[in-house]
Chains A and B, each alone.
Chain A
Amino acid sequence: MPLLELINVKKDYMKGETVIPALRGVDLLIEKGDFLSIVGPSGSGKSTLLNIIGCIDTPTEGSVLYDGTDLSELNDKEKTRYRKENISFIFQSFNLIPVLTARENVELPLIIEKKFNKEEIHDKVSNIIEIVGLEDMADRFPRELSGGQEQRVAIARALVKNPLVVLADEPTANLDSEMSEDIISVMQKMNEEIHTTFIFSTHDPLVQKHAERVIILRDGLIASDERKNHGHAD
């Protein structure tokens, strides 16, 4: 069974009187361990698609099955729990909590999850901070970090609870190419080592190069879905 199954997903936004179709019938199967990039021009519906998968938005039509469960049948509380237990987000604009240090930002999802004690949290956080290479910056506040460092914190924050799926909306859009390369390789490493499923949107060709599956979205529809042969495969 695929991890995620999107069946004829449509999403309309209303802008005043006019209907804006952001997604116009997307069918998509995502396997566990996919390292998948969604490519497309601005406004093609990439963010909308990720938000729907992450259950912070609901489709107007069609359904999303996670492990066989239809997400549209969950109530608000269950959606919150679904996110808490399975999904992590990485945002284009990092979105770190400004009043928390790097370490505290990374701890936050574990604290929200309320599953681990202090020591476990400390160990997990230290471990992930090391993986993203931020040991020296852990006690700095976001404003004291560079964009690349901020995004590393955001990635550490997304990965610390060892989610099944990481949704990254243009994670490198605010970074230069060297930093982007860096960030992608961190994600790739996680994908290879612990088979975390990554779904990220991008229009950065550099990022596409590393993806093992590339979906091209155009005007709310999938224009192509290609799996590369090299890299890690199921």
Chain B
Amino acid sequence: MGTLIKIAWRNVRRHKRRTFLSALVIAVGLAMFILMNSIMTGMDRANIDNLVELSTSSIRISTKEYAEDIESLPLKYGLQNVQELTMFIQQQEYVAGATPRTQFLGQLSNWEETMPVIGQVVDAKTDVIVFALMNYLEGNYFSDEGENEIILGKGLAEQMGVQTGDYITLYALTRYESRNADEFHIVGLLNTTDPNINLNTILITYETADSFLDLEGLVTELYVAMERRVSYNLFVKDVQQLQTKLQSRFPELQIDSFLKIASGFLKLTEQKKAFGMIFMLIILAIAAVGIFNSVLMSVYERIREIGVLRAQGMKRGEIITLFLWEGGFIGILGSILGLIIGCGANIYFVLVGIPLDKFSGLETSGLPFLGRMYGEWNIGAIIFVFLFGIIVAVAASYLPSRMASKMEVTKAIRYV
């Protein structure tokens, strides 16, 4: 075995140019995959972070009855023990905060036009700990003593033709299902690229809602934010751990993590990953052709040598092994080179990032973030593609190797 490896390695070294070119194709494929994977993971992460920061938080708690009827956002099923829950949650590890919200359906009117909206009743003090709305707020947040203050999605405000400082009318059904309407003072606008928030959402405080909706402190949902982790997987683990803990402590409640709340979006993310995989497969297929060719040339050049080895009593299997090693070495070299190029370039993407304003039209694509996008290290994917590069190289060498082993010895020796 050692001798086969030695012969293979020396042949790979002997044809430096050919080896380099074949290895380069693999390297390019690998590097592109690493970068694409990094950017896509980074993009997904940014998307998920935004989703968690802006709308789902890490964990949502409600009653089971509410969860079943959540589409109609009923004001019927309040959480009984918000205080106790909040206390318990705040004692847990990695928890950034918890805040109550009560959602309701309403209509916004400027006397000319009426638009359906989703109202969010928020706790002005704790809401900003759980949700990062402040980062996207134009104008002011709720003041301490102000009454009937409202914050609108910016898109919504534009459609209604209103601005900060203007007044607008909100209709809704109260907790006791009687119609109510009132004038609200617009203090701020939320300019996020999440179309749900931008186009459908209004925020009011519990103080305001108590009179407007007869809410009497009714809390239908409690949102929990976990501290951000650099590693997405660790973050998911934190969230799942807390979820399990909460579920066992409060079995009567519905405890959903963002994984469930945003499952549709996350599924889309997985599909994009599969697409990236196909892309890499195509590149590696090209690389495979390169290696196939290289090993085939090697076989043709050494037909006589193969004959000699066979005449000396080397088995067919050993001839195959010899050439598989040659392909394998090219694969290893290419994969190492690809790793260096890919990871080297990725350092740039992770540290410096890509400014997004260079790409126009991103906002309309619904990607909910602004500014820079960063790459992410995905060690699992890097190890996978490294091994995959080698495997592809060996697999591509199989056919020419088999050809070499099938050669008739006399013809091989005769061959000049």
| A positions within 8 Å CB-CB of B | 51, 54, 56-57, 76-77, 80-81, 83-85, 88-89, 91, 93, 95, 97-100, 104, 107-109, 111-113, 157
Contact = CB atoms under 8 A, between A and B. Distances in A.
Interface of B: 3, 6-7, 10-11, 14, 304-305, 307-316, 318, 409-410, 413, 416
A100 B304 contact: no
Nearest to B311: A89
B7 A89 contact: no
A144 B413 CA distance: 22
A99 B10 contact: yes
A84 B312 contact: yes
A91 B10 contact: no
B312 A108 contact: yes
A109 B313 CA distance: 8
Contacts of B305: 95, 97-98
**In terms of DSSP, what is the predominant structure of the interface of chain A?**
helix
Contacts of B309: 97, 108, 112
Contacts, number: 68
18 contacts: A51-B413, A76-B316, A77-B315, A85-B313, A89-B308, A89-B312, A91-B308, A93-B416, A97-B309, A99-B14, A100-B10, A104-B3, A104-B6, A108-B3, A108-B309, A109-B312, A112-B312, A112-B313
Contact of A56 (B316, B318, B409): B409
Given A51-B410, A95-B304, A97-B305, A83 B7 contact: no
Given A91-B413, A95-B413, A111 B3 contact: yes
Contact of B313 (A51, A83, A93, A104): A83
Contacts of B313: 80-81, 83-85, 109, 112-113
Nearest to B4: A111
B221 to A, nearest CB: 72
A57 B410 CA distance: 6
A229 to B, nearest CB: 34
A231 B6 CA distance: 43
Residue in A56, A57, A107 whose Cβ sees the most chain B Cβ within 10 Å: A56
Contacts of A84: 312-313
A132 B213 CA distance: 107
Given A95-B304, A111-B3, A56 B410 contact: yes
A31 to B, nearest CB: 24
A56 B314 contact: no
Nearest to B314: A112
Contacts of A108: 3, 309, 312
A97 B413 CA distance: 13
A226 to B, nearest CB: 28
Nearest to A91: B413
Nearest to A94: B308
A93 B413 CA distance: 9
Given A51-B410, A56-B413, A99 B11 contact: yes
Nearest to A100: B7
Nearest to B9: A99
A99 B8 CA distance: 9
B392 to A, nearest CB: 25
A91 B310 CA distance: 13
B114 to A, nearest CB: 84
B312 A83 contact: yes
Contacts of A109: 312-313
Given A57-B410, A89-B311, A97 B304 contact: no
